Structures are given as C-alpha cells and as structure tokens.
Structure 1
Amino acid sequence: MDKSQERARIDADDDPGANSGERDLVALGIVTAAIILFVGTGSSIGPDVVRSFMGQGKGPDGALLNAFLLNIALIIFGWSRYRELAKEVKLRRKAERQARILAETDPLTGFLNRRAFDAAVNGMIADARQRNEAVAVLLMDLDNFKQVNDYNGHSAGDQLLLECSRRIAAILPARALVSRIGGDEFAAAMPFEKHRPERVEQLVGRLVDAISTPAQVNATDIGVTASIGIARSDLAPIGDQVRDQASDLLEMADIAMYHAKRQGRNRFYWFEADMADEMRFRSEIEAGIRRGLARGEFVPYYEQQIDLQTGELTGFEMLARWDSPDFGVVSPEIFIPIAEDIGVIGQLSESVIRQALADAKTWDPRLTLAVNISPVQLRDSWFSQKLLKLLVEANFPPHRLEIEVTESSLHRNIAQVRSLITSLKNQGIRVSLDDFGTGYSSLAQLRTLPFDRIKIDRSFVTSLVENRDSAAIVHAIAMLGKGLNLPVTAEGIESSEVLEQLRQYGDIKGQGYLYGKPATAEDTRLWLQSLGLLLVTEAMAAIPHEQTPQTAAAPPRLTRNG
C-alpha cells in the first residue's frame, strides 16, 4: 500500500459533509432573515418606486426605503460571511485529514504505523473469519542495517529504507496491509486460503530475494538482507490459548523472526510453539549475561599454542567462558552472539582481556597471549585506544599480545579494518587473520592488510587426513603463508596423524585437543609453575611445585630452551 492508497483510505473514512462544507447557522440565519425582509419591503416599495420613475406618483416611504437598502447590505454581508466560513471549514478539514494521515502513517515510507496497523489487522482478521480464510502476519527486520547508518550516514539509511519499502509494496498483493513499526522493522498482513500456505511462502521468498539485492544509494552499492517471521491467525497457540489478535500475531512473528536470525539470517520461518520456549530461554540468557558482567562471571580459559617442529610451548590463546551459577560453564558459541545482539560484547571482551593480561603478566616473558575480538568491536573506532589503556593498566608488553581478526569480518568495512590493524601494529601489537579459508577475503586484501600471521580454520585441519579437499586447502594456505612470508597457525589438531601431516610444512604453530583442552587460569598457572615457566614472586613461592592441572596435558617433547 503506497502513500496515495493510504490517503485515499483515510479520506474515505472522513465525514461526507466535509466535501460540501459545514453550515454556519448564524450566517445562514442572517441571510435568510434578510432575504425575507428584502422580499417583504421590496413588495411594498417596489410599485411606489416604479410609479415615481414614471412620474405617476410620489416616491416610496423613506423608512421603508432605508429598510430595503439595509436588507440588501445584510444579504451581501451574510453571503460573504457564509463563503468565508465555508472556506475556513474546508481548510480546517484538510488540516484534520493531514493530521490524521500523520497520526496513522509513517512519515518516511507512507506505510501504516504500529497503532493503525494493529487496528487494521484486527479488522482484516474479522473479515477473513467470515470468509473462512486465515491472515498471515509478517515481521521483517533488515539484517546489519545499523552498519549502513554507521558507515554511510543516516541519510543513506533513509534512502535504503525507502528503496526496501518500494520493493515490499511492489511484491505484496493489493489486499495486504503494510507497516513500518520500527527503525528497520516492517510488518505486513494478508489474507490467504487456509489450505494454501505455500502461496504466502512464495511471496515471502520473493521478499527475501528482493531485499537482498544491493541498492544504489549515492552511487554506492549497499546491501542488506532480511530475516522474516510469519504467524497465521488460525494456528496461533501460546500455551493453552488461541491468540489471534494483531498484537499476539506480531509477538509470534517476532519470535519466528529472531529464530530466522539465529539460523543464519536472510531467510524466513513460520512460528512454531516451541520457538516461544526457545525465546524465553534466550531472554533468560540475556538477563544472565547482564548479571554475569556485574558479578565477574566471565573468565578466561587458555588453549596451548605449540611449535609443531620442536614441541615447544610458545603461548596461549585466550578463550572466554561464562562460569554461570545458573547455567554452569557456558560455551562462547552460545553467549557471544547474544552479547553482540544486546550490545555488551565490548564490555564483556574488555573484562576478560583485562583478566588475561593480569594472568599472562606472570608467565615466562617468551610466552605470547592471543585474543579474539568480535566483528562488532571492529566497528568501534575507539577500540585501539581502549586496548592500549588495558595494556598500560596491566603494564603488559604489547609485543606479547596478538589480536585475532576473523576473515568473515573483512568484507564489511575494509577501510576501517585497515585503519584498526595499522593502529594496533603502531602500538607494537601483532595481528593475525583467524579462520582463514572460511570467509570472503581476496588475496589482494591479504597482501595489502598488514597481518602478522594467518590461522587455518579447524574445519579444514580436523578432516585433513580423511578429506582430500581439506588436505588441498591446508596445503594451499601453508604455501600461501610461505609465499607472503606470513607465519601460519593450524587450529583443531586432535590426532597424531594430523600432526604428522602438518609437520611437513616446516615452521608452523598448532593448537588443539591433542595438547589438552582449554584450562582455567588457575590450572594454567599451576601447570606453568610446575614447568618452571612462571615468574616467581614472593606470594607464589609458597605454592607446591608438584601441583599440576587436570584439564591440560603436557604437549609432546615440551622443552624450555636456555
């Protein structure tokens, strides 16, 4: 539904009397009375006036003539006043219609706003019930739209929203209702035959494809995708109730939309009852993350990094864990995406990095610390300064710190990534490209970006022996590293067979469960102390050296040179 359609709908709802003007009773009464008096006095003085002009009698009575002229003046005044009032009423009604349009529609797209949409959908559901039809309610959210505003400005964001609204209006049928209910959220409702839900799916599939097509904004191709959730009015249970009001269906479509986001975005899902349980669990996780940040429940674990040729321990990769009293030790695959969505990933990351720097400060100075950063943090123009502040607070040497940037984050804003990497390297921090082979970076980007290391993703390493494609990819990356003079680290080493295959590539580091699972800070400290790789302080001298961690096994042929 476009702006002209919406205005026509609103105009049709107005009082029909608005088109003919309202009658002002006072002005109309004055005109009516003046006309009656005009007729009365005119009939009395008319014959006298005619005879006077013909020279056949005296003129009309002076009082009656004055009354007659006064009647004419009153008629002219009353009619003029009536026309002015009619014009004022017309302007007022036009202003009222415009105000109603503004009150019921989104000013940017011309779609219905949330309040008007709810009322219209409830009416559509009632009509559909009479025709034995169902109503599908869609909730569409543009994926990564915030980045468009951050990188291109709000004006470009508005232009992209307008383009998306045009595509939505072009695809949805004439009977559909469309609303912009939030910054980058659109809702739609349409009736359909209960036994033909595939028609809704076809339309929604076209919406997903249309929105994912890059749009030209200020001579720049800008692309977003859409995650869409769908609920249907005839199958809308939550608990033991069937809830088929617009607000209920939007709530269910919202749950399905978030499910689509968690499944990878750029797709759609129908609402199912078990999604509500999943959403409640997510809400509990969100609340738990916020509480956990305040309570210091997010802690660093450490995974060994080994020189594959010598077997020597070279450092650790820090992996964040959530030690929750409610959920136990939670994997980062669960809490990090949620922390990114609710906007606390920066605070969480800084907290565990601060702890890791304090831990690593007590290790042998030759051991390095590798830290992953979220793609969300790459969009923070102050991240480099925040990291430098943490280093200064911990009095930790920058050359011992290595920041890992995932390859999939490079395509989002290569200029900002280049600026961040350069800033980190200027501080003496090393930067590695993580999960190499799984993203979208080109060799030109790899050559121009000043990385210090590339890491082969574990998905290729774990299947290196039995999968020829994985073996070919690992070989290609290892040779690429040699050609670009970039050291290589292989993740996911879990067997001695994989280790032997990797050793053929010479100077390469590795990490994985073959060398032990990630260990807590305390277990790591005790293990390093037993190996003589912990700086001895007065407070540590009393700790027995025979204590060793249970979660981290010593790597093969571990030595300490010098």
Structure 2
Amino acid sequence: MTSPADTNGTAARAPAGTHRAERDIVALGIIVAALILFVSSGATVLPRTLHHLLFGGVPADAVLSNALLLNIALIIFGWRRYAELTAEVRERRKAEDAARQLAYTDPLTGCLNRRSLDGAITALVEEARSQDKAVALLVLDLDKFKRANDLHGHQMGDAVLVETASRLRAILPEEAIIARIGGDEFTCALPFEAAHPETVELMAEQLLVTLSEPISLAGHAVEVSGSLGLARSDTPDIAPQTPSPQVASQLQHFADLAMYYAKSCGRGRYAWFEPTMEKELRFRAELETGIREGIPRGEFVPYYEKQIDLDTGRLTGFEMLARWHSPRYGLIAPDVFIPVAEEIGLIAPLSECLIRQALIDAREWDPSLTLSVNISPMQLRDPWFAQRMLKLLVETNFPAHRLDIEITETCLHENLPVVRSLVASLKNQGIGISLDDFGTGYSSIAQLRSLPFDRIKIDRSFVSTLDSCQDSATIVSAITSLGKGLRLPLTAEGIASDAVLAELRKLGSFKGQGYLYGQPQPASAVRTALAEQGLLAPALTQPAPALVSPPVSSAPSTAPEPDQARRA
C-alpha cells in the first residue's frame, strides 16, 4: 500500500507559488567567468612560459602571469564554495520535506493527520465524481482503549495505535485514505461503486473482526474493539452540486454521528448515517445542558413509591425515585436522564441533591416509616461516599436507622474491596444496606455472606411475571429459599396485580412494592395521604440527635462510565 504521505500527494507537494532553487546561480556564474578568463589569459601566458622554461628567451608578461594564478585561485575557491552551498541547499530541502511530512502526517502511526485530512478527502471526492463513483467515509473509535492504556501504560497504548493502523492498511484498498485524527480515533475514506454499498459493509465487518483480535505485545494480550460510523457522498442529505470541500466536511460530520450511534447500540458494530441520528444527538446535547442547568435550579425532585408488609398490609416506608420537571420537556423518567448524568459525571451531585430533599421530606413522616434510596455504581467508586452520606444525615437531622441504601449487583464486580469498606462504614453508623435487582447480575453466595446486607430485593422482571411464567416462579422460589437460609428478609419489586400478590404469599413473607399499591407520588401528595392516615411525625420539640461525622473531603469522585438506567 502506498504510504499515507503519498496517498493524496499533499505531504510531498510544495505549496503553490514556492520557488525551490536547487543551485547557487551566483557562485556558478563566478566559476564560469573565471574559467573564461582562465582560457583567454592562459592561451597567452602558458605557451610563453613553457617556451621560456624549455628553450630560454623572453619570459611571459608578469602581470598576465599573476592574473593567471589569481584566476586559478578564484576557480578553486569558487568551485569549493559552490559545492558547499549546493550541499547546504540539499540538506535544507531535506529538512523542509521532513517538516512538511510531520505537518501533514501523524508521527506515531504514519497516517495522515487532521490537518491534511480535509484536502485528501476533497481530492478523493473530486476524483470519484469524475469516475461516477461515490466516496464512503469511515470513522473508527477504539472501544476499551483508555482502560488498556491506563492498565498497561502509554507505551503499550502507542503500540496498540500503531498495530491498529497496520491492520487498517492490511484490509483497506490501496487507494484508501487513512488518517488518525486524535486519541484513538481514525478516519478512512475510499471510493466505491454507488450501486454496491455491500462492498463497504463487508469491509466494515472485516475491520471489526480484525480489530477485536487480541494484540500480543511485550508478553501482554491487549483486547480492544472498535465502533464504526459510515457515511456516503451520494446520500440525499448532500446535494449533487455541493462543492467538494463542503462534501468532505459533511461526510465527516455524518460519519461521526453514525459512530456515536453505533457505540450507543452496544459498541463493536457499525452503522450507516441516517438523518434521525442528528436529531438524537441534538436531543442528547439538550439533555446534557438541561441536566447541568437543572440541578442548581432544583428541577430534579424525589417521588416516592410505597413499600408494604405483605402479611399485614401495613405501610412500612417508601422508596425514593428520581423525576425531572424539565421546563422544556415536562416530566421526564429516570431511565432517560440518569444514564446521561452518569456519562457526563453529574450523577453524584444529582443524587446527593435528591437524597437531601428526600431526607427533609421523610423527616415529617411517622418514625416507623423508612426511606430507601438507590445509589449509582459510580458513587460507590468514591472513597468518600460514606462520609458524604453521613454529612447529609447531619445536615437534615435524619435518623440513620431509618435510611436504607440500595446497591445493585453490578457494583460487586467492579471493586469489591472498596464496596466492602464503604458498606462497613455505612453499617457502622446504623444505615441499612439492601442488595437491589437481585437475580439480574452475578452475585455469589460467598459475596452475600461476606457483605453485611440487611435485605435482598428481587428484581421486578421476575416478580411481574410470577403468575404467568414458570421460570420466573422457579427463580423467585429459589431466591426466597436463599433469603431464608441466610436470614435475609426479602422485598419483591414490581407487584402489579392481585394474582402476583397471591403467588408471593404462597412463598413466604415479603415486603412488596409496585403499581398495585399506587403510582409513585411527589412529596406533597405523600404528605397529604400520610396525614389522612395519621402517619405524620408529631411536632418536634427538639432536633434529632446529631451524628458525629468525620471531615468530608472535597476530592472529586472517580470519572463515571455509562451504567444501566434507574427504573421508573
């Protein structure tokens, strides 16, 4: 395959209007003039000098002889100077070519860089149009590259990038453009027959398979994969008369959108650009802005879902669920905004804001009622999380024994020692800990025994189909037996019908929650309902005893990654 610098000629071609002199014309002129004088003066002086030396007689004219010698010296000096200047010019040209190569190519991989990419794509589009072909643009982003880079070091990360570029060159055709535009992102462009886009799709599939193969370097096997976004120059979104430079810019934008869409669908796949992707990206950007602005404005509010003792029918507490009162979109469920907040690193301040308000609301309830709150796995990566929770309890004067923190199973596999330490810290202050969504992850009995959980919550996906699916019934029965054996009380989520409730009562004693007992409600509605039932706290004559909390560090928590959405 041709080198990236020669792919479109950009790196090897001098800028227009630049004159590159390869020789010193002045020095060359002096040498020529000296040679002419040497010939003219030597024709007179040399014969007379030889005749005088051989046969005697009148010597050559002294002035002409001195002029001849001076002429010879001038020729020698001029030639030497000319040779030096020519060598200097040659070295300068090499340095200029090397600088131009560095300016237009990526020094690590040898691919084109962002600066030269636009011109290369523009030239390829013009050439493809002249041949009645289309241009396909591929944007590749490596998945799990940052983790590999952090785990094995930057030298290993550089080696992965070099190997990735090598694999791209091995699969893409010779006329393809390959560029590294920064970090772990590559852009490739190639011409293809517009009537046969399947050739591009086949190539994309080959790339994904090749990129997913482990890279063995320095005794380590590094596993990365890639997400590909594809766009074509003959798409209806690009007018046929659009100038080539503008086509190049639009293609890159469209392929970027397709790549982000491929990532959102599970990574390790490719996707062609579609107009709806741009709308989705714009909506995503609006969500991010809305979350950033909505937290300080108090747009995120807690809603509360009842928790019932199934044996007695008595109300035992509430689970807090997040809702967003967006001034633009109205009431938004958590499965929409929670994953976005986790990805942009705002889940911790958002969660703490909601928990603080929930503690203030629950302070008005009867002391027998508990408050359950869900915690994102991102928050448990913060070593100061326990101290932050204790600080909230102190600020709101809420008793620790009435608070129950729910941890999902996925938290147990990311950093079990840290989770164990945080759980122990929370338990020591009297806070209850529940294992949420049990049955959907990979918790082992050993983990249940090693972590001091107070309760297991059976995931709603099993409970809601308990009366209609034998597999769900078997799983719930097994979890019930496990809870009894470990002496851990159980909560069943997702109770939506009397039939499900009847099946649960056959299996044992549970707490339950679900739409059978009503939809989640805001604090005002909950307060009104509790007042009617006489379940509001009596007027407080003294503030609740304050908890002793260690100093809270201002150190930020570790960077979050996307995780599963909270349930509505």
**TM-score between the two structures when normalised by the length of structure 1:** 0.84
Check the 8 A contact 2:10/2:116 in 1, yes or no.
no
Structure 1 stretch displaced more, 270-279 or 473-482 = 473-482
Of stretches 304-313 and 442-451 in structure 1, the one that deviates more from structure 2 is 442-451
Write out per-residue CA displacement over residues 500-555 of structure 1, whole angstroms, 9 at most, x where no aligned residue: 3233443433221122211112222222333333323379xxxxxxxxxxxxxxxx
CA distance in 1, matches of 2:361, 2:218: 49
Name the counterpart of 1:345.
Answer: 347
Question: Does residue 126 in structure 1 map to residue 126 in structure 2?
Answer: yes
2:5 aligned residue: 6
Report if the CA contact (8 A) 2:139-2:259 is conserved: yes
1:289, CA displacement in angstroms? Answer: 2.4
Contact 2:11 2:105 in 1 (8 A): no
Pairs within 5 Å for 1:330-341: 330-341=332-343
Code of the residue aligned with 1:473 in structure 2: it is I
How do residues 482-521 of structure 1 correspond to structure 2 at under 5 angstroms? 482-521=484-523
In the alignment, residue 337 of structure 1 is paired with which amino acid? P
Tell me the secondary structure at the aligned position of residue 230 of structure 1.
strand
**Distance (Å, rounded) in 1 between the aligned partners of 2:377 and 2:217:** 24
CA contact (8 A) 1:236 1:249 kept: no
- On the 8 A contact 1:236/1:242 being kept in 2, the answer is no
The Cα of 1:342 is off from its aligned counterpart by: 3.1
Q: Secondary structure at the match of 1:317?
A: strand
Deviation of 1:122 after TM superposition, in Å, equals 1.4
Q: Which amino acid aligns with 2:537?
A: L
The amino acid across from 1:334 in the alignment is V
Alignment-derived partner of residue 300 in structure 1: 302
Query: Residue in 2 aligned with 1:65?
Result: 65
Report 1:370-449 matches (<5 A): 370-414=372-416, 417-418=419-420, 420-422=422-424, 424-425=426-427, 428-441=430-443, 448=450
Q: 2:135: which partner in 1?
A: 135
Question: 1:248, CA displacement in angstroms?
Answer: 0.6
Q: Match for residue 546 of structure 1?
A: none
Q: 1:320 to 1:42 in 2, by over 3 A?
A: same
Secondary structure of 1:245's match?
helix
**269-278 vs 115-124, greater mean Cα deviation:** 269-278
Structure 1: runs of 5 or more not aligned: 540-562
Paired position in structure 1 for 2:545: none
User: What does residue 193 of structure 1 align with?
Assistant: 193
Give the aligned partner of residue 37 of structure 2: 37
**What SS is found at the alignment partner of 1:136?**
strand
**8 Å contact from structure 1 (residues 304, 316) kept in 2:** yes
Q: 1:228 to 1:241 in 2, by over 3 A?
A: farther
1:76-155 aligned at under 5 Å gives the runs 76-143=76-143, 145-147=145-147
Percent identity of paired positions between Structure 1 and Structure 2: 57
Decide whether the 8 Å contact of 1:133 with 1:194 is kept in 2: yes
Name the SS for the 1:351 alignment partner.
Answer: helix
Q: 1:203 aligns to what?
A: 203
The alignment status of 1:325 with 2:327, answered yes or no, reads yes
Once the two structures are overlaid, the 10-residue window that deviates more, 173-182 or 429-438, is 429-438
1:321/1:65 CA distance change after superposition, 3 Å = same
Residues 388 and 109 (structure 1), Cα distance of their counterparts in 2 relative to 1, 3 Å cut: farther
- SS of the aligned residue for 2:140 comes to strand
2:253 is matched with 251
Letter of the 2:538 partner, please give it: V
Match 2:459 to one of 457, 460, 463: 457
Amino acid at match of 1:255: L
1:479 pairs, out of 471, 478, 481, with 481
| 1:311-322 alignment runs, 5 A limit | 311-322=313-324
Q: Give the counterpart letter for 1:457 in structure 2.
A: D
Distance 1:362 1:239 in 2: 63
Aligned CA distance change for structure 1 residues 163 and 26 (closer, same or farther; 3 Å): same
SS at match of 1:322: strand
Deviates further, 509-518 or 252-261: 252-261
Deviation, 1:234, is 0.5
Q: Secondary structure at the match of 2:195?
A: coil
Compare 466-475 and 189-198 and name the one that shifted more.
Answer: 466-475
CA shift for structure 1 position 345: 2.4
2:176 aligned partner: 176
User: Which consecutive residues of structure 2, in runs of 5 or more, have no partner in the other structure?
Assistant: 542-568
Q: Give the partner amino acid of 1:455.
A: K
Residue 271 of structure 1 pairs with residue 273 of structure 2: yes
Residue 25 of structure 1 is matched in structure 2 by 25
How much has 1:175 moved relative to structure 2? Answer: 2.3
Distance in 1, Cα, partners of 2:166 & 2:429: 48
Question: Structure 1 residues 99, 74: closer, same or farther in 2, change over 3 A?
Answer: same
Amino acid at match of 1:245: V
CA contact (8 A) 2:117 2:179 kept: yes
One-letter code aligned to 1:470:
S
**1:83 positional shift:** 2.4
CA distance in 1, matches of 2:178, 2:422: 41
Name the Cα RMSD after superposition.
Answer: 3.4
Q: Distance in 1 between matches of 2:421 and 2:214?
A: 25
CA contact (8 A) 2:41 2:68 kept: yes
Local SS of the residue matching 2:57: coil
SS in 2 for 1:517: coil
- Which residue type is aligned with residue 6 of structure 1? A
Q: 1:7 to 1:249 in 2, by over 3 A?
A: closer
**Structure-1 separation of matches of 2:421 and 2:91:** 57
Aligned residue-pair number: 536
Q: Would the alpha carbon gap of residues 53 and 527 (structure 1) be closer, same or farther in structure 2, given more than 3 Å must change?
A: farther
Q: What pairs with 1:162-173 in structure 2 (closer than 5 Å)?
A: 162-173=162-173
Contact persistence 2:176–2:189 (CA under 8 A): yes
What's the CA shift for 1:235?
Answer: 1.1
Q: Which amino acid aligns with 2:113?
A: N
CA contact (8 A) 2:124 2:135 kept: yes
Cα 1:511–1:144 change in 2 (3 A) is: farther
Contact map agreement 2:5 2:104 (CA 8 A) in 1: no
Name the CA shift for 1:85/1:362 in 2 (closer, same or farther; >3 Å): farther
Of 525, 536, 539, 2:538 maps to: 536
- SS in structure 1 at match of 2:398: coil
- Which has the higher relative contact order, 1 or 2, with Cα contacts under 8 A spaced 6 or more apart? 2
| Secondary structure, counterpart of 1:264 in structure 2 | coil
- Point out the more displaced range, 126-135 or 144-153: 144-153
CA distance in 2, matches of 1:217, 1:444: 36
Distance 1:167 1:434, change over 3 A: farther
- CA distance in structure 1 between the aligned counterparts of 2:400 and 2:160, rounded to whole angstroms: 42
- Deviations 1:417-453 (CA, angstroms, capped at 9, x unpaired): 5555455455554443332333355555555555444
Counterpart residue type for residue 102 of structure 2: L
Q: Secondary structure at the match of 1:432?
A: strand
